[in-house]
Chains A and B, each alone.
Chain A
Amino acid sequence: MRGIIFIDPQKCLACKSCELECAVVHSKSKELYQALDEYPLPQSRVKVEAIAELTVPLQCRQCEDAPCVKICPSRAIEKPEVEQPVLITERLCIGCKWCILVCPFGVIGMDREGKAVIKCDLCFERLKDDKPPACVQACPTKALQFKSSEEIAAEKRKEYLVKFIKGKEMA
C-alpha cells in the first residue's frame, strides 16, 4: 500500500483513539490489555493538539527532503525511497536530539528510556500486509485517512468543480 496520512481537522473530535491504537500497535504484544503491563509502556507517535476551535492529530509528514535526515550525524534517520516512510534505526541513534530541534512540525520525540528518538513510521509493516496505518484504522470519524496524494488532489479538484457549478447555478 502506498499513500500519505490525510487529515481533516473538521472531523477530529479529540477522542484520541489514534493515540491509543498507535501505542498498541507499537507495543511488544500488539494487544491493548497486555500492552498495559509492558515495560517500557508503549508510546504513541501521533499527538492530538488543539488550538482555539481547531483540533488536529499531528504526526510525521514523511518529508521527501527531510530536515531530520539531513541533520542526523549517525545516519540513524533515513528516507530509503521516494514516497516511502522516513525510518529510524534505533541502534544507530545517539540521542543527540538535533532532529527534534529541526523538525518543523514537532512530531519527533524521545522514547521512554530517553535513549533514542521515535516518530511515526507510517506503520510500514502493516502496509506490507496491505493494512492501513493503525491511527487511520482507529479513527471513528475518518478524520484520518490513508490516500495517495493523487487521490487527494483528484478529490479536491472534484470538490472545487462542484462548488464552482453550484456557485454558477445560484448566480
Chain B
Amino acid sequence: MEKEEKSIDRASQEILEIAEKEGIDTAWDRYEAMVPQCGFGELGLCCRNCLLGPCRIDPFEEGPQRGVCGATPEIIAARNLVRMIAAGASAHSDHGRDIAHTLLLTAKEKVKGYKIKDEEKLVSLAGELGVNTNGKDAKEIAAEVAERVFSEFGQQHGELWFSHRAPQNRQALWRKLGIMPRGIDREIVEVMHRTNMGVDNDCQNLITHGMRTALGDGWGGSMIATELSDVLFGTPRPVRAKVNLGVLKEDEVNLVVHGHEPTLSDVIVTASQDPELIALAKKNGAKGINLAGICCTANEILMRHGIPIAGNFLQQELAIATGAVELMLVDVQCIMPALVSVAKCFHTKLVSTSPKAKFPGAEYVEFKEEEALPIAKKIVRMAVENFKNRVKEKVNIPDEKMDLVAGFTAESVFKFLGGKYRATYRPLNDGIISGRLRGAAGIVGCNNPKIIQDWGHVEMAKELIKNDVLVVVTGCSAIANAKAGLLKPEAAFQYAGKGLQEICEAVGVPPVLHVGSCVDNSRILITLCNVVAEGGLGDDISDLPVAGAAPEWMSEKAVAIAFYFVASGVFTVLGNPFPILGSRELTELLTRRLKETVGANFAFESNPIKAAHLMIDHINKKREALKLKPIMYEEREKVTFGME
C-alpha cells in the first residue's frame, strides 16, 4: 500500500515511511499480511462455541448448511454478534465500575491524589439517585452515590436509574419490548448463557436481548463512567488545545499516556506538573515534561485539562516510532500488544499499570488508587530519567499539529446557546425547527487499516456540516476530525453550510463539537433527551432529525455503542458491516425490520460521502414527519457523490 492509501494524515504518512525504512512493523503491514482474511469469519458463518465444531456454513450452498448441532447461519451469526455486544458492554461497564470504586475510595479518604471536583454535579446526581443530601457533606454524599451506583452492577431486578432520563415514550417502548435493562452485569451474563450451545436458537430473540445488554451499557456502565468522572475530575468546559504527533517536543521529556480510564491519566497530569520532577527533568537536560495522550484517555485529559493529543488508535505505534517518547503508559483497552516490539527499537519504556491488562515485555507498575499520586510520580520519574537515553539521530517528530476546541458536554454547550444566564436547549431546538440547522449527527468510533486512516471520519463530517447538520464527535473520530482542523471555530467558514455557519458564528463554537471519550457517547444520549424534553421536535428520540455513524469502527465496544444508539431510536450507519452478511435473515432484521420495533435500524456503507447522504436523507425524512420548516439555505446544485 502506498502511504496515501494508508492514511490521509501527513504525520502518519511521514512516520510510516520511516517505519518502513527502519523495518518496523506496523498494524498496516500486519493487515496486508493477513489479507485475504477468512471469508467465513467475515460473513459470520464460523462458530467456535463448542467442540462439536468448529463449524463453518458454506455461503455458496454446496458444503454444510448447518452446524453439527443444527445451527443455521442466523443462529451462528446472531450468537457471534451478541457476544460482541457483551464484550463491548463489559469493557465500558468495567470502566464505569472502576470509576465508581475510585469515587467510593475518595469519599472515604483512602486515596492520594483524588478529590471531588464537581460538588454541584454530585448533589444533582444524588437527587436523581434518591440519595438524601440533608446535612451531609460532599464526602458522605459521594460515598452514598458510589454505593448506589455500585449496586446497579449487581442488581438482579428493577431498572437502571439513568434509563429514567430517556423520554417516557422511549422507556415505555423498552418495557413493552422487554428490553429495559435489569442489572448491568446480569444482562451480560445472560448473553453468555444464551449463546452457549443449545440455548437461544432464535436470531430475533438473541438480538432483542443483545439490545437490552447494550442499553445496560449506554444508560448504565458508560453513563456511570461519564457522570462519575465529571464528579471526580471536573465537568469539562470548552478548552483550546493541540493535536497530532507534532505535539511531541524535541527538548522536553515526552510522556505519552494511552488507554481509557482517567483514574490513571488524570493523576498523571498532576504528577507531571510536580515542581520537583520538572526540576529533575531540567537536571537531566530537558526543558520540562510534556504530557500527551493517545485514544480515549487522551480525550479525558483533553476535555478536562487541555492536555494535547498525540494521536488516535492507528498512531499508537507511530508515536513511539518518532523516537521521541521516553515512556508510554498504558492501562486498558485498544492497546496493541505490538507496542512492546516497537518500543524495543527505541529507548522508549512501555509501562503497563492494570492487573487486568498485562503485556509480556512491558514493565509493569501496578496502579492502585490508594497510592495514586506517589505511583504516578514514580512513573513520571521513570520517564524523566529515561530522557538521557534518547538517541538524537532516531528522533523524527513530524511538524504536524493542529489547534482545536474541545470540552463540550450536554450541559455546557447549551449553556452557550442559551446565553450566559439561561442554560437551555431552546435555541438549538429553534435552530432545527426553523431550518437553519437541518439536524444533528454523531460521528464516533475507531480507526481501522481497512479504511484509509481518518478519511472516513473527516469526509463524512465535511459532507454533513456542508449540509447544515451539526456534528458531535467522540473517541478516535474526534481526534481524526481535530487533526483535520474541523474542531476550530474557523472551520465553520471553511466547510459549513450557511445555516450552520450562522449558528457557529453567533455562539462561537466550531461546526464539529468534541464531547469526549467513547464512554462519553452517553453525553450524546443525554443531549438527545434534553432536546426531546425542550419540545417541538417530537416525543421520542426516534422522532428527532438525527443520525449516528461509526465509519472506521473495529472494536467490540463499537458494536455495543451502535446497538445502544439504535435501541434508543437513532439510525446508525457503520463503515464496514457487522460480520453477519452470511445470514440474509439477520441482515434484513438489522437493516430493515428493526425499525418496526425500536424505531431505528442500521445501515452499512463504507464510502463516507454516500454514508453521509444516507444520514441526510434520514434526517430529511424525520423533518418531514415533524412538519418542520424547509431548510433555510438548501443547496441549489444537485449533490454529487464524486470525490474531489
Chain A contacts to B: CB under 8 angstroms: 11, 13-16, 48, 50, 55, 140-142
Q: Is the CB of B56 within 8 A of A15?
A: yes
Q: Is the CB of A14 within 8 A of B63?
A: no
CA distance A55 to B62 in the complex (A): 18
Q: Is the CB of A141 within 8 A of B35?
A: no
Q: Which of A50, A140, A142 contacts B36 (CB under 8 A)?
A: A50
Any A CB within 8 A of the CB of B37: yes
Indicate whether A50 sits within 8 Å of B35 (C-beta atoms), given known contacts A140-B58, A141-B63: yes
Taking CB as reference atom, which chain B residue is nearest A53?
B36
Taking CB as reference atom, which chain B residue is nearest A8?
B60
CA distance A50 to B33 in the complex (A): 11
Any A CB within 8 A of the CB of B355: no
Q: Is the CB of A14 within 8 A of B36?
A: yes
Q: Is the CB of B36 within 8 A of A55?
A: yes
Q: Which B residues lie within 8 Å of A11 (CB)? A: 60, 62
Q: Is the CB of B63 within 8 A of A142?
A: yes
CA distance A11 to B64 in the complex (A): 14
Taking CB as reference atom, which chain B residue is nearest A11?
B60
Q: With A14-B39, A48-B36, A50-B35 given, can you name 10 additional A-B contacts, CB distance below 8 Å? A: A11-B60, A11-B62, A13-B39, A13-B43, A14-B37, A140-B40, A140-B58, A141-B60, A141-B63, A142-B58
Q: Is the CB of B56 within 8 A of A140?
A: yes
* A72 nearest CB across to chain B (Å): 32
B26-51 contact mask (Cβ, 8 Å, vs A): 1 or 0? 00000000011111100100000000
Q: Which B residues lie within 8 Å of A50 (CB)? A: 35-36
* A29 nearest CB across to chain B (Å): 21
* B36 nearest CB across to chain A (Å): 4
Q: Is the CB of A13 within 8 A of B62?
A: no
Taking CB as reference atom, which chain A residue is nearest B58?
A141
Q: Which residues of B48-79 are within 8 A (CB) of A? A: 56, 58-60, 62-64
Q: Which A residues lie within 8 Å of B58 (CB)? A: 140-142
Q: Is the CB of B35 within 8 A of A15?
A: no
CA distance A48 to B35 in the complex (A): 10
Q: Which A residues lie within 8 Å of B60 (CB)? A: 11, 141-142
Q: Which A residues lie within 8 Å of B63 (CB)? A: 140-142
- Give the top 9 A-B pairs by smallest Cβ distance, nearest first: A13-B39, A14-B36, A50-B36, A142-B62, A140-B63, A15-B38, A141-B58, A55-B36, A140-B56
Name, among A48, A55, A141, A142, the residue most crowded by chain B CB atoms within 10 Å (CB to CB). A141
* A145 nearest CB across to chain B (Å): 10
Q: Is the CB of A140 within 8 A of B64?
A: yes
Q: Which B residues lie within 8 Å of A141 (CB)? A: 58-60, 62-63
Q: Which A residues lie within 8 Å of B64 (CB)? A: 140
A-B residue pairs in contact (CB < 8 Å), sample of 16? A11-B62, A13-B38, A13-B40, A14-B38, A14-B39, A15-B38, A15-B56, A16-B38, A55-B39, A140-B63, A140-B64, A141-B62, A141-B63, A142-B58, A142-B60, A142-B62
Taking CB as reference atom, which chain A residue is nearest B41?
A15
Interface size range on B against A: 10 to 19
Q: Is the CB of B62 within 8 A of A15?
A: no
* A66 nearest CB across to chain B (Å): 29
Taking CB as reference atom, which chain A residue is nearest B35?
A50
* B119 nearest CB across to chain A (Å): 57
Q: Which residues of B114-133 are within 8 A (CB) of A? A: none
CA distance A14 to B34 in the complex (A): 10
* B44 nearest CB across to chain A (Å): 12
CA distance A48 to B64 in the complex (A): 22
* A161 nearest CB across to chain B (Å): 22
Q: Which residues of B600-640 are within 8 A (CB) of A? A: none
Q: Which A residues lie within 8 Å of B39 (CB)? A: 13-15, 55
Taking CB as reference atom, which chain A residue is nearest B61?
A141
* B460 nearest CB across to chain A (Å): 25
* B396 nearest CB across to chain A (Å): 33
Taking CB as reference atom, which chain B residue is nearest A143?
B60
Q: Which B residues lie within 8 Å of A140 (CB)? A: 40, 56, 58, 63-64
Q: Which A residues lie within 8 Å of B36 (CB)? A: 14, 48, 50, 55
CA distance A140 to B61 in the complex (A): 10
* A150 nearest CB across to chain B (Å): 21
Q: Which A residues lie within 8 Å of B59 (CB)? A: 13, 141
Q: Which B residues lie within 8 Å of A142 (CB)? A: 58, 60, 62-63
Taking CB as reference atom, which chain B residue is nearest A16?
B38
CA distance A11 to B60 in the complex (A): 7
CA distance A12 to B36 in the complex (A): 10
CA distance A13 to B58 in the complex (A): 9
Name, among A13, A14, A16, A142, the residue most crowded by chain B CB atoms within 10 Å (CB to CB). A13
CA distance A48 to B33 in the complex (A): 12
CA distance A100 to B532 in the complex (A): 70
CA distance A141 to B59 in the complex (A): 8
Q: Which B residues lie within 8 Å of A55 (CB)? A: 36, 39
Name, among A14, A48, A140, A142, the residue most crowded by chain B CB atoms within 10 Å (CB to CB). A140
CA distance A153 to B267 in the complex (A): 73
Name, among A11, A16, A50, the residue most crowded by chain B CB atoms within 10 Å (CB to CB). A11
Taking CB as reference atom, which chain A residue is nearest B37?
A14
Name, among B36, B40, B56, the residue most crowded by chain A CB atoms within 10 Å (CB to CB). B36
* A144 nearest CB across to chain B (Å): 12
Q: Which A residues lie within 8 Å of B37 (CB)? A: 14
Name, among B37, B38, B62, B64, the residue most crowded by chain A CB atoms within 10 Å (CB to CB). B62
* B452 nearest CB across to chain A (Å): 17
CA distance A140 to B43 in the complex (A): 14
CA distance A15 to B54 in the complex (A): 13
* B132 nearest CB across to chain A (Å): 61
CA distance A18 to B638 in the complex (A): 51
CA distance A85 to B56 in the complex (A): 31
* B604 nearest CB across to chain A (Å): 18
CA distance A13 to B40 in the complex (A): 7
* B35 nearest CB across to chain A (Å): 6
Q: Which A residues lie within 8 Å of B62 (CB)? A: 11, 141-142
* A33 nearest CB across to chain B (Å): 14
Taking CB as reference atom, which chain B residue is nearest A54?
B36
CA distance A117 to B467 in the complex (A): 62
* A124 nearest CB across to chain B (Å): 25
* B606 nearest CB across to chain A (Å): 15
CA distance A55 to B550 in the complex (A): 28
Q: Which B residues lie within 8 Å of A14 (CB)? A: 36-39
Taking CB as reference atom, which chain B residue is nearest A140?
B63
Q: Which B residues lie within 8 Å of A16 (CB)? A: 38
CA distance A112 to B315 in the complex (A): 36
Taking CB as reference atom, which chain B residue is nearest A142?
B62
* B399 nearest CB across to chain A (Å): 36
CA distance A142 to B60 in the complex (A): 9
Name, among B38, B60, B64, the residue most crowded by chain A CB atoms within 10 Å (CB to CB). B60
CA distance A141 to B37 in the complex (A): 16
* B43 nearest CB across to chain A (Å): 8
CA distance A128 to B63 in the complex (A): 25
CA distance A48 to B23 in the complex (A): 25
Q: Which residues of B1-38 are within 8 A (CB) of A? A: 35-38
CA distance A15 to B60 in the complex (A): 14
Taking CB as reference atom, which chain B residue is nearest A50?
B36
Q: Which A residues lie within 8 Å of B35 (CB)? A: 50
CA distance A37 to B64 in the complex (A): 31
* B4 nearest CB across to chain A (Å): 18
CA distance A140 to B60 in the complex (A): 10
